[in-house]
Amino acid sequence: MIHLGGGSALLPLPIDALSLEEKCQIIKLLQSKGANIQELNTVRQSMSQLKNGGLARFAKSTTIISLILSDVIGDPLEFIASGPTFYSGNKNQQTLDIFNKYDLIHYIPTQFLQHLKENESTNDNVTKSSTKQIHNVIVGSNHIALDAAAHLCQNSLTCVPFIATTCLQGEAREIGRHLVDLVTTNPSELVYNDNISCLFSDKSTFDAFQKFIKQNKQYYLLLGGETTVVMKNDCGKGGRCQELALSAALTIDNSNNNTSILLLAAGSDGIDGPTDAAGAFAFNGMIIDESDIQKARKALDKHDAYTYLNETNDGINLLKIGHTNTNVMDIIIIFVNNNLYMDSKI
């Protein structure tokens, strides 16, 4: 078997207590509330006959080999495509907790809620697959993609790369601002606080980055993961990568320092949100006219980054590459030429 990012949506077989339409509506509600991929796939597991090891249980073979492309932070088998060949226990109580967290209980079909409450702790599915040999092998991931990108930077672009994290999470526009603040702040003034810690795998990686930027005038900063966008009622057209890039562009031209920045935020599947763009660029001087600044801020507030970027400079700041036929989450690459750090005595 081969399963990959997008498998949760491509392999539906709802339990009897739900229709496919109801299942899709529940996921849309959770996405609109900003639920992360782990929460989405936990709920999907409770709604499906095929997820959470269900596909393996249905398989007639006693030996199953799954080749997996991971689109989930940390590569947990239970969440990649919602774990069709990996059983991780009953998820009904967790699903109820998620509905309560986002205040969605009153929007959930009564029959499904009843099913969840009546089957909170049953684990009948364990014995159904216990006699099978199941081998789950990750053959593609964000970590592998970033390693390849770092290798390209090092050998083809003759510039030193630094991988900060493959576990990037958080509100897209906030991450965009934090990234610019990170690369424009004097390294001796950087503090490992909440705004910074979300950009690194751990404190030791942050410490290594501080030393790294003291020694390198030009470098590539690479990050991977998956940010989120909490939608408002008045929404336009865009995606998390475009929103991150637009927020970064506004922050770059408001930073007033000597750092030259070129940022790319893109989805590895080639599609960011309901658009034909994989993501977008951000760089110095991209948004400097006062009227453009106001338009960009309005677009950001309405989650309408695509419309703004597509209508500005003939859409040149959007990355449009089409479907890549794979998905290992998002990739952010920032080229930094930081004269300020080298000219100051640190």
Using alpha carbons, select from 195, 193, 189 the residue that is nearest to residue 173: 195
Residue spans per domain, the chain: 2-139, 142-338
pLDDT at position 255: 64
Integer Cα distance of 50 and 44 in angstroms: 10
Integer Cα distance of 192 and 43 in angstroms: 34
Q: Give the pLDDT confidence of 66-117 residue by residue, as tens digits.
A: 999 998 899 999 989 899 999 999 999 999 999 999 999 999 999 999 999 9
Model pTM above 0.85 = no
User: Residue 175: pLDDT band by 50, 70, 90 thresholds?
Assistant: very high
Integer Cα distance of 175 and 165 in angstroms: 13
pLDDT at position 124: 55
Q: Give the pLDDT confidence of 194-221 residue by residue, as tens digits.
A: 999 999 999 999 999 999 999 988 999 9
Q: Give the pLDDT confidence of 25-71 residue by residue, as tens digits.
A: 999 999 989 888 889 999 999 999 999 999 999 999 999 999 999 98
Q: What is the DSSP letter of 235?
A: -
User: Domain 2-139 is in which class?
Assistant: alpha beta
pLDDT at position 129: 53
Integer Cα distance of 106 and 84 in angstroms: 29
- 50's CB contacts (< 8 A; 6+ apart) are 11, 12, 13, 58, 84
- Fold classification of 142-338 is glycerate kinase, domain 1 (3.40.1480)
